[in-house]
Structure 1
Amino acid sequence: MAFPFDTRYPSIEILRERAKQRMPGFAFEYLDGGCNENINMVRNTAEIREVQFRPRYLKNYSHARLHTELMGISYDAPFGISPIGLQGLMWPNAPEILAKASLKHNIPFILSTVTTTSIERASELTEGRAWFQLYHPTEDWLRDDIIQRAEAAQCPVLVVLCDVPTFGYRSKEIRNGLAMPPQVNFRNVLQVLGKPAWALQTLKHGAPNFATMQKYMEKGMSIKQLGKWMDATFSGTLNTEKIKPIRDMWKGKLVLKGVASCEDAEEAIRLGFDGIIVSNHGGRQLDAGESTIKPLTEIVKRYRDQITVMLDSGIRTGPDIARVLGSGAEFGFLGRSFMYGVGALGSKGGDHTIAMLKMQLQQVLEQLCCENIHDLRKYIVKKG
C-alpha cells in the first residue's frame, strides 16, 4: 500500500508526541490544554468515539467518495481547518503553512481574528478561498472595517464567534504568562533555549503578532498596554442587536460558531445565518458543559432541513470525522490535529496531516462499503 505521508508519523497521537518534543513547554501547553480540569476537552473526543458503525459487506458496492459541497463551494473532503488563535506562537508561520496546505488539498481554512497572519495574506495564500472568523469588536467602526477587509479579500464565508463571552480559566496559561497577551519570563526563556528548531524558525519569521489587528494598534505598545488594548477592543458577548448589522452588511455566506443548544440554533435560523458550527471552543471555555456530539444530534434532528449544521471540537482523526458525519453533521472542523502536525513536521505538517486524515476517512467508508459520506448516517448503530 502506498502512503501519501511520512510513515514515521502515521497517527495524530504520534504527531502530538513529536510536537511536544519540538515545541517550548508554554507553547505546547497552550495548544494542548482545555480549561479548569480539562474535563470537557477530554469528554468531547471520548463521547464522539462512543458512536459506532455497522458495515454492510455483501451489498453492491463500487468505491467511496470524499468529495462534497459546503456553502456552495466544492471541496475534496468533508473536513476543514478550524480557526486557531496565536498559531505563530505555537509554531512559527503555522497559519501560512496550513493555508497553503488547504489550497493544495481543496479543503476550507478558517482564519481567526486573533491569529498571526492577516486576512489579506491568508486570502493570497488560498487564492481567495479562506474563511474568516470574527471576534466581535466593541466599536462599530472597527467591526465594519474588518468585515470590509474580509469582503475585499474575497472571503466566501464569514464566521461569527459566539462562545467566548469571557475567557475560560486556563491555569497553565496563567502560569506561563499566556493569558492575554503572551509575557516573557525566565521560565519561558529557558524553554525556548531547549527547542532550537522552534527558536530558529521564530528568528526567521519574526515574533508572532496579531497580524489582522496591527493596523489598529499604536506602535511601540508594551506587553501590558497590548493586553489592555485587546481586552478593551473585543466584546465576547453576542446578541440580536449585534448580529443584525453584520447580516445586513455581509453579502456572502454567514455562519455562527459556538452553538451548543437548540435554542441558539433556532435563533441563528431566525437571524438569517446560512450555517452553524456546533462547538465549545475545543473544551477551552466551559469545563462543566456538554460535549459537542450531544447537542449536535438533537440540533440535526430538529433543524437539518433549515440550516447547514457543522461540528468543531473533539474531532481528532479520520474515524472521528466519520462518526460526526454519521451523527448528522454535514462537515467537521479540526484544530489541534493540524497544529500537532505543524509542530511535529514544520512546513510539511499541514500537507502530511490532511493526507493522513483523508486516507483514514477513506478507509472507514471502504470498510463499511459506504460509497458516499452523506450515507454514513445509514450505518450508525442506534442506541436503545
Structure 2
Amino acid sequence: MAHNFNKKYPSIDDLKDKAQKRMPRFAFEYLDGGCNEDVNLHRNTSELREVQLQPNYLRSHKGSSLKTSLFGIDYDAPFGIAPVGLQGLMWPNAPEILAKAAFQHNIPFILSTVTTSSIERISELTEGKAWFQLYHPTESALRDDIIKRAEAAHCPVLVILCDVPTFGFRPRDIRNGLAMPPSMSVQNILQILGKPTWALNTLKYGQPSFETLKPYMPKGLDLKQLGKFMDQTFSGRLNAERIKPIRDMWKGKLVIKGVASHEDAEEAIRLGLDGIIVSNHGGRQLDAGESTIKPLETIAEKYGDQITVMMDSGIRSGPDIARSLASGAQFTFLGRSFMYGVGALGKQGGDHTISLLKAELQQVMEQLCCENVNDFPNHLIKKN
C-alpha cells in the first residue's frame, strides 16, 4: 500500500487527541459535541461497529481498488468530505486546506452554506469539482441567487439539507456562547490565549465569517444582530413545495442530506432527486433518534436500485467506511475526522487524513479478498 501519512498519528483518535490540545475548548467542543446528552452521537459509531464482515482467504485475488464512480464521475476512493459549518472557527483556513486535499486526492469536498469560505474560492481551488450544500433561505430570490452562483462555479452536485428544521439543543455550545446569537466571553478569550498556534493562524487568515453569505449581509453586524440575521434569512425546514423549484432550476445532480426514514426516501424519489445521504447530522439534532446505520440498511435494500444511497454520521475510520458500504451505502462522507486532521496537523491535516483512511480501507479490502468497492455487500455477515 503506497498511502503516505504521518506515522506519529496512525489513527483518527490520535488526531482527535492532538486537535484537542491545539484548539480552544469552545472550538473543540463545537466540533466534537452532539446535542442534549450526546446519546445519538455515541450510538452512531457504536452501532455501526456492530457490523461484521466475512473474509475469504482461499479465493484467488488480483488486488483491491478503491476507485469508484458516482454520478458519472470517477473518484479515487468511496468517501468524501462532508459539509461542516464554521470550519474556520475550529481551525483557521480549514475549508481551503480540506478542499485542496480533496482535489489532490480526487475525492469530493462538499462546501456548506454556513462555513467560512466562499463558493467561488473553493471552486477556484478545486477547478469546479467541489459540491455545494444549500442551507435553505426563506426568500426565493436569495435561494435562486446562491444556486446561480453554485452553477457558475461549475459545482457538479447540489446538496440540500433537510435535517435542520430547528437548531439542535447543544448544551456545550450554549455554555461556550456558540449558540445563536454567538458571544465571546472572557473565558473564551482566555482559552484562545492558551492556544497560540490557533491564535496566530487566526490573525494570519482573519476572523472567520460566512464568506458565501457576505453579499447578502448588512455591514457592521454585531454578534446579536448576526443571530437575528441568520434566524430571519434561513429556514431549514424542507417540503415538496420548496424542493420542486430547486429541482426545476438545478440542471446538475441534486442530492438531499438528512434522510432517515422510508417516507423521506420515497418522497425524494418522487420529486426526482438523484441521490440521498442517509444522515442524522452527526448526532447533533435529535438525540432520541436512530443511529444512521439502522435506517441505511433498510433504505438501501428497498430503494438502492431507484436512487443513489449514500451515508454520513458516525463514520470515523477505514473499517467504518467498509461497514457502511457493506450495509448498502454506495458512497460515504466524513466530517469530524477531517476536522480532527486539520486541528491536529494544520495544512498537512487534509492530506494526512485522506491518506490514512485510504490505507485503512485498502487493508480491509485486501483482508476480505474484496477487489472493488461494489463487492463489499457480499462480505456482510447478516444477522438472523
Q: 1:111-126 maps to which residues of 2 (within 5 A)? A: 111-126=111-126
5+ unaligned residues in a row in structure 2: which ranges?
Answer: none
> Which residue in 2 is equivalent to 1:225?
225
Percent identity at matched positions? 72
- CA 1:296–1:2: 2 relative to 1, 3 Å: closer
2:187 partner letter: R
> Which residue in 1 is equivalent to 2:161?
161
Alpha-carbon distance in 1 for matches of 2:180, 2:195:
23
> Which residue in 2 is equivalent to 1:192?
192
Alpha-carbon distance in 1 for matches of 2:17, 2:87:
18
SS for the counterpart of 1:150 is: helix
> Which residue in 2 is equivalent to 1:240?
240
1:301 to partner: Cα distance: 1.2
Aligned length: 384
Alpha-carbon distance in 1 for matches of 2:145, 2:196:
39
Q: 1:314-329 maps to which residues of 2 (within 5 A)? A: 314-329=314-329
Alpha-carbon distance in 1 for matches of 2:100, 2:171:
33
SS for the counterpart of 2:29 is: helix
Alpha-carbon distance in 1 for matches of 2:26, 2:236:
25
SS for the counterpart of 1:74 is: strand
Instruction: Describe the superposition over 1:112-147 as per-residue Cα deviations: whole angstroms up to 9, x where unpaired.
Output: 000000000010111100000000000000000000
- CA 1:3–1:65: 2 relative to 1, 3 Å: closer
Alpha-carbon distance in 2 for matches of 1:27, 1:151:
32
Instruction: Describe the superposition over 1:323-358 as per-residue Cα deviations: whole angstroms up to 9, x where unpaired.
Output: 000001000000000000000000000000000000
1:27 partner letter: A
2:101 paired with 1:101 = yes
Q: Is the 8 A contact 2:276 2:309 kept in 1?
A: yes
5+ unaligned residues in a row in structure 1: which ranges?
Answer: none
1:79 partner letter: F
Alpha-carbon distance in 1 for matches of 2:2, 2:133:
37
2:146 partner letter: I
Instruction: Describe the superposition over 1:176-232 as per-residue Cα deviations: whole angstroms up to 9, x where unpaired.
Output: 110124311100000000000000000000000000000101111111111100010
1:3 to partner: Cα distance: 5.6
Q: Is the 8 A contact 2:182 2:224 kept in 1?
A: no
- CA 1:50–1:184: 2 relative to 1, 3 Å: same
Alpha-carbon distance in 1 for matches of 2:86, 2:181:
10
2:14 partner letter: I
Instruction: Describe the superposition over 1:223-242 as per-residue Cα deviations: whole angstroms up to 9, x where unpaired.
Output: 11111000100011111100
Alpha-carbon distance in 1 for matches of 2:119, 2:253:
17
1:310 partner letter: M
2:303 paired with 1:299 = no
Instruction: Describe the superposition over 1:276-314 as per-residue Cα deviations: whole angstroms up to 9, x where unpaired.
Output: 000000000000000000000110111111000000100
Alpha-carbon distance in 2 for matches of 1:220, 1:169:
28
1:379 partner letter: H
> Which residue in 2 is equivalent to 1:353?
353
Instruction: Describe the superposition over 1:51-80 as per-residue Cα deviations: whole angstroms up to 9, x where unpaired.
Output: 001110001111000000011111000000
SS for the counterpart of 1:133 is: strand
> Which residue in 1 is equivalent to 2:281?
281
2:21 paired with 1:21 = yes
SS for the counterpart of 2:100 is: helix
SS for the counterpart of 1:189 is: helix
1:255 to partner: Cα distance: 0.1
> Which residue in 1 is equivalent to 2:36?
36
> Which residue in 2 is equivalent to 1:11?
11
Alpha-carbon distance in 1 for matches of 2:218, 2:234:
16
Q: Is the 8 A contact 2:3 2:358 kept in 1?
A: no
1:2 to partner: Cα distance: 6.4
Alpha-carbon distance in 2 for matches of 1:93, 1:201:
8
1:218 partner letter: P
2:5 partner letter: F
Dislocated runs of 4+, deviation >2 Å = none
Q: Is the 8 A contact 2:83 2:110 kept in 1?
A: yes
User: TM-score scaled by structure 1?
Assistant: 0.99
> Which residue in 2 is equivalent to 1:61?
61
> Which residue in 2 is equivalent to 1:270?
270
Alpha-carbon distance in 2 for matches of 1:296, 1:53:
17
Alpha-carbon distance in 2 for matches of 1:62, 1:291:
36
Alpha-carbon distance in 1 for matches of 2:331, 2:182:
33
> Which residue in 2 is equivalent to 1:380?
380
